[in-house]
Chain A
Amino acid sequence: MRSVWALAAVAALSVLTTSTTTLAAGPKQGGILRMYHRDSPANASIHEGATYSVNIPFMPVFNNLVIFKQDVAQNSMDSIVPELAESWAWVNDNKTLTFKLRQGVKWHDGKPFTSADVKCTFDMLMGKAQQKFRQNPRKAWYNEVNDITTNGDFEVSFNLKRPQPSLLALLASGYTPVYPCHVSPAEMRTHPIGTGPFKFVEFKANESIKLTRNPDYWREGRPYLDGIEFTIIPNRSTAILAFVAGKFDMTFPTEVTIPLVKDVKSQAPNAICEIAPTNVSTNIIVNSTAAPFDNADIRRAMALALDRKAFISILFEGQGDIGGTMLPPPNGLWGMPKEMLETIPGYGPDVKANRDEARKLMQKAGYGPDKHLAVKVSTRNIPVYRDPAVILIDQLKSIYIDGELDVVETANWFPKIARKDYMIGLNLTGNAVDDPDQSFYENYSCGSERNYTNYCNKEIEKLFDVQSQETNIDKRKKLVWEIDKKLQEDVARPIIFHSRMGTCWQPYVKGVTIMTNSSYNGYRYEDLWLDK
């Protein structure tokens, strides 16, 4: 009995000691975060890039006016906090968004940050400045902005053509840093200057990217790390092995596939791995301007033939999401509820019944068991594109469509799509911000550069504007659901699935938050620290 009491006392003491230690252990300063990078980005300019290969290493160099709170996993209007702005206000019937700017902030080269820098940045993004970006992939985000005006050095206003509440969310994205006026776009591609927690040190193409702590950072006590070093390792096996061997503190975010997460956990049981949606959808682009897909019945039949669960179980071991254009809940803010989704043709759980219906449509169009429709399924020559394309071809067989895989080198993919030199294609669409304005206008509005299929429905377009101006979230949500449903029924760009990917880090890396509805916004890294 005495030994039982002694054991209990020891246990209580150890619990007390552990909890005391935990309470005492706050974030520690110092250390270099070592991470591998999946590829060598084209340059260091976030505004000229459209891949998170640029965001992840260079987002720590910058600040935005506002940003999605970095320790909240789900991006939403409620999680937006000021950064270079101290506050903001909607005025003039929600047609002007005014920011009061933080004072005393310095660029990494010592020059002061003022409202002129904000004006410069957004004038360039809108194509109104003398200096031009070599590429400007998100120009359309600012279509509703009339102009930017400054009031002194520390106040700036975005004057809109009409109310657009989502502008704030677009400004909070990792894709929307403020650039310095006095540094040219060309210099920003090779040696970016920001106001952020880390200063750029060097970028050796195909080798490494190095950042060092900004000692003059405006946020007291941040960042915790002395620096961040990215080693560029394009070979995934080598990169994962290096992480397992302890050469890196963290994997490249949302880049570890589900089977690889299992591998990592088996070889490095202490590693912490998190699987999260990436807000990247895999979808089918259909050339509806030419036969045979100019026939709406064939397009509908194709959408009915999809067994989305099969895609997810083969490619992601069951860990993926089925939804429409918008990322489905609970991680997505705007996705249709399950009950609504299942009323859309092809989304119902009875795959056999869906395919029976699809076969009837195909027979109506003149195809059947004796007369198959031969099509080419074009896709980029990258595994994340190629693998689902192969499954798609297999599924289309069930409705008398014989698909032939047409793999296209990346360099030729968009020129080919732009030429309409394809029948159907398998495509991936990433959403930087979980907001319908970003997704709808970019991918489905008439004349948009990223509307690869040239889908154009003036009625829907009007609804885009209605939802965009709606300030009541619940009302807007219902509008968005209706639009999304209609887009799926129109087979505008059938969404097959929304993927999930993993991120792993060593147990001593603290303060990591993997965002669950975007892969583009959570890499400021000023709150991250190493418990070594």
Chain B
Amino acid sequence: MFAYLVRRLFLMLVTLFGISIVIFFLLRIVPGNIVDILFAAAGYVDPADKVNLEKELGIDQPLVVQYLHWIGGFLRGDFGYSYVSEKPALQEILPRIPITARLAGLALLFSASIGIPLGVISAVKQGTKLDYALRVFSLSGLSLPSFWLGLLILTASVAMFGQMPIFNPNPQTWLEAFATYAVPAAAVGFRSAALTMRITRSSMLEVLRQDYIRTARAKGASDAAVNYHHALKNAILPVITVIGIEAAFLIGGLIVTETVFNIPGVARFLVEAIRWRDYPIVQNLVMFIAIVVVFANFTVDMLYAVFDPRIRFTD
């Protein structure tokens, strides 16, 4: 087990190193840099000013030098300065992480707490009206884009209640804070919930047909015991995998949701940083996200062993 862990950790480091190269060079392939954009915004280009600014920001250096400068700083905990705001990159990124983390966490909670029970119900009640209704619900979740759903929620709130669940940076109470995040989390989590429900349903259906389930029923186990203790525990593995992948994919959905609900989180900030070619922000932020995703995958792999006693990591 220990050797396996060490090997996985080593692989993680290699993966992250590869990712750092991809992030760095992909950004440079995109045409234009911050200086081009600043001058584009000003509506003119002064070649001398442009050269000075490129020099000031260090983007006149060879790419390898720029990469080594960045990665060296990253390893030392020096994340550089935002080209746009001229503030330390960490100072710009850190306050936004909890906002997105809360939103993502709540969306995942919504996804799991709605998707798994509904998936189980749908599987247990297979072929009934309830099953059909739940399948329509899940299909709509997969079909409706989160930006559309978000705008629909906002428009309906204004039209029906004259109120708008837009982000409140200074919530006074715990309930207000929850309300600030709950609506956008539901908008973005709806798709995840639908996916989780479908995976749970199909996985449950497969398990419910197994011999040991029939044996459990023959032994007189109650429906609840069979469904939740025997079937769900065995059907949950693919669901965990999907939730793990969804956690990584959530950032894409959050970009749109944060824009529609005007939430000043990391996802929207990242898009703006890409638009400005704010390399220190984009590189460091994507690297953070990569680290989170790699660790999330690692954690999911480890969780397999917890949920399925048959799995043992050996050399």
A: residues with CB less than 8 A from B are 40, 42-43, 48-51, 132, 134-137, 186, 189-190, 203-208, 231, 233-235, 237-238, 241-242, 244-247, 267, 409-415, 418, 449-450
Expressed in whole angstroms, the Cα–Cα distance for A27 and B40 within the complex equals: 41
Q: Is the CB of A50 within 8 A of B41?
A: yes
How many angstroms from the CA of A141 to the CA of B87 in the assembled complex? Answer: 31
Q: Which of B31, B49, B163 contacts A245 (CB 8 A)?
A: B163
Asked if B86 and A189 sit within 8 Å, CB to CB, the answer is yes
Q: Which of B53-79 contact A (CB under 8 A)?
A: 53, 56
Q: What's the minimum C-beta distance from A452 to chain B, rounded to whole angstroms?
A: 9
B260 to chain A, nearest CB (A): 6
Q: Do B36 and A415 touch (CB < 8 A)?
A: yes
User: Which listed residue (A51, A247, A414) contacts B39, Cβ 8 A?
Assistant: A414
**Interchain CB contact (< 8 A) of B32 among A40, A48, A411:** A411
Alpha-carbon gap, A267 to B87, bound state (A): 41
A residues in contact with B272, CB < 8 Å: 40, 205-206
The answer to whether B131 has its CB under 8 Å from any CB of chain A is no
Q: Could you tell me if B260 and A238 are in contact, using CB atoms closer than 8 angstroms? A: yes
Provide the bound-state CA to CA distance between A282 and B45, in Å. Answer: 20
Quote the shortest CB–CB distance from B49 to chain A (angstroms). Answer: 6
Which of A50, A231, A234, A414 has most B Cβ within 10 Å?
A: A414
Q: Which of B149-208 contact A (CB under 8 A)?
A: 151, 154-155, 157-159, 162-164, 166, 169
A415 touching B32 in the complex, CB below 8 Å, given contacts A186-B86, A190-B86, A245-B158? yes
Q: Which residues of A are found within 8 Å of B154, using beta-carbon distances? A: 237-238, 241
Interface core residue of B32, B163, B261, B269 (most chain A CB under 10 Å): B32
Is B38 interfacial (CB 8 A cutoff)?
yes
A231 and B276 within 8 A (CB): no
List residues of chain B with CB under 8 Å of any chain A CB.
31-33, 36-46, 49, 52-53, 56, 82, 84-87, 92, 151, 154-155, 157-159, 162-164, 166, 169, 259-262, 264, 268-269, 272, 276-277
Are the CB atoms of A136 and B46 closer together than 8 Å? yes
A163-B164 Cα distance, complex, nearest whole Å: 56
Q: Are B164 and A450 in contact (CB under 8 A)?
A: no
State whether B43 touches A414 (Cβ < 8 A).
yes
Instruction: Please tell me if the beta carbons of B45 and A414 are within 8 angstroms of each other in the complex.
Output: yes
List chain B residues, Cβ under 8 A from A186.
Answer: 86
Show 5 residue pairs from A and B whose CB-CB distance is below 8 angstroms, ordered by the A residue: A235-B260, A238-B262, A410-B40, A411-B32, A412-B31
- Closest Cβ of chain B to A414, distance in Å, is 5
Residue pair A450, B260 in contact (C-beta under 8 Å): no
B45 A50 Cβ-Cβ under 8 A: no
Chain B contacts for A51, CB-based, 8 A? 41-42
| Residues of chain B lying within 8 A (CB to CB) of residue A48 | 42
Tell me whether B44 and A449 are in contact (CB under 8 A): yes
The CA-CA distance from A48 to B261 in the complex, in Å, is 31
For B147, give the chain A residue with the smallest CB separation.
Answer: A235
- For the complex, give the distance between the alpha carbons of A22 and B281 in Å: 53
Q: Which of B40, B52, B87, B162 contacts A190 (CB 8 A)?
A: B87
B32 touches A237 (CB 8 A): no
Complex-state Cα separation, A450 to B169, whole angstroms? 41
Chain B's closest residue to A237 (CB) is B151
- Are B38 and A135 in contact (CB-based, < 8 A)? yes
Q: Which of B49, B87, B264 is the one whose CB lies under 8 Å from A135?
A: B49
Q: Are B44 and A411 in contact (CB under 8 A)?
A: no
Q: Do A411 and B40 form a contact, CB below 8 Å, given A42-B276, A205-B84, A238-B166?
A: yes
B264 touches A207 (CB 8 A): yes
Query: Which of these, A42, A242, A409, contacts B38 with CB under 8 Å?
Result: A42
Question: Is there an interface contact between A267 and B158, defined as CB atoms closer than 8 Å?
Answer: yes
Complex-state Cα separation, A414 to B155, whole angstroms: 38
Q: Are A206 and B155 in contact (CB under 8 A)?
A: no
Kindly state the separation between the CA atoms of A409 and B274 in the bound complex, as whole angstroms. 12
17 A-B pairs besides A235-B259, A245-B163 with CB distance below 8 A are: A42-B38, A135-B53, A137-B43, A205-B92, A205-B272, A238-B259, A241-B155, A241-B164, A244-B158, A267-B158, A411-B40, A411-B277, A412-B36, A414-B45, A418-B45, A449-B45, A449-B46
